[in-house]
Amino acid sequence: MRKNSFRESRHPVNQTATRVLQVLALLRQRRDWSATELADRLEVSTRTIRSDIGRLRELGYVIDATSGRAGGYRLDRATDLPPLMLDDDEGIAVAIALHQVTTNAVTGIEASAARALAKLEHVLPHQLAEQVNAMAAATAPQSRDTGPSVEAPALAAIARAVQRTEWLRFEYTPFQGEASVRRVEPYRLVSWGRRWYLVAFDLERDDWRSFRVDRMSLRPPTRRRFTPRGLPADDVAGYVLRGVASAGWRFRARVVVHAPASVVAEKIDPSVGLVEAIDDERCVLVTGADHPMTVAVYLALLDEDFTVDGPAELTEAIHSLARRYATATG
């Protein structure tokens, strides 16, 4: 499993195998390589490079010869994945990640992860395999809900549109309301709990939106490129969390907190509220919950002075809480 295990051996067969893998790795890093460039990188002759390319082709990799003054090579990216070289720490990290991935809300990923894990454990050295199995046995599995899941091909298609900066079209069914066809500029995928969200700029509504992927039905790729905009927030995941949380609030409030925005932001979870600076000493906290008393408790936990102008329900909840605290302390 160690990267240098082949290099430490002086056996010519091992040296050839290592060099062939190095050629393959270089071909995957860049689209085109000349034979001279490959030879210089590996400190061998161009004749040796031609032999290594031949060995890779025998293994099933499609490598095209490119024309030009010096000639070169190009790896067909549609060919099979190359052998994976991992050191000990990387092998353990991958195995643990595969053990944990079964809690993800991607349809069919559990079976794929189990197959990949079985292959990995088969080649792990005995000592490392024992460490991975011990971690799996000692870790309590996360509880799984029966919420909606998404298809892996849908996530892959969205990711490709993000990478290629191409418009995305899909039919979207919101929690309340009728389904409609949306045309967006996709920017980021965010995973939260067992939900996947797409952060995108909605072209019809001329504003930023986050969409639940399990409520999207993708249309064929548009192939229409766009010029990227600045994201609506530096913390895209926090932006999604705030939107998801506020969408479910039954009661909303806007409170002036007499403390810097940076101080208040460190004390609350992004899903609890949005902090906006007024000046160096004050900020506005936009928050909400299912009941005004819950917001009153949030504000008490801030341990900062604050001013409430309304709504009346929040003022009443704070007065009620103050009376209860005063009675409790005699």
Kindly list the domain boundaries of the chain, sorted by start residue. 12-75, 88-138, 150-237, 249-328
Q: What is the pLDDT of residues 92-135, one digit of tens each?
A: 777 777 766 655 666 666 677 777 777 777 767 777 777 777 77
Q: Three-state DSSP class for 112?
A: helix
Query: Residue 5: is its pLDDT beyond 60?
Result: no
pLDDT at 3 (0 to 100): 41
Question: What is the mean pLDDT of the segment spanning 20-31?
Answer: 83
Query: Band of the pLDDT at 66, cuts 50, 70, 90?
Result: confident
Query: Residue 23: is its pLDDT beyond 90?
Result: no
Q: Which residue has the higher pLDDT, 70 or 182?
A: 182
CA distance 197 to 153: 15
CB-count exposure of residue 221 (10 Å: 0-12, 13-18, 19+): middle
Q: Three-state DSSP class for 171?
A: strand
Q: What is the pLDDT of residues 185-207, one digit of tens each?
A: 999 998 876 678 999 999 999 99
Query: Residue 328: is its pLDDT beyond 70?
Result: yes
pLDDT at 2 (0 to 100): 39
pLDDT at 1 (0 to 100): 42
Peptide bond into 311 cis (omega under 30): yes
**Top-tier CATH class for 150-237:** mainly beta
Same fold, 12-75 and 249-328: no
Query: Residue 181: is its pLDDT beyond 70?
Result: yes
Other C-beta atoms closer than 10 Å to the C-beta of 180 total 11
CA distance 152 to 144: 18
How many helices (H) and strands (E) the chain has is answered by 11, 14
Q: What is the pLDDT of residues 222-254, one digit of tens each?
A: 999 999 999 988 888 777 877 766 666 778 888
Statement: 12-75 belongs to CATH 1.10.10.10? yes
**Amino acid making up residue 200:** A
Statement: 249-328 belongs to CATH 2.40.128? no
Angle at 274 between CA 268 and CA 279, to 5 degrees: 95
> Model-level pTM?
0.53
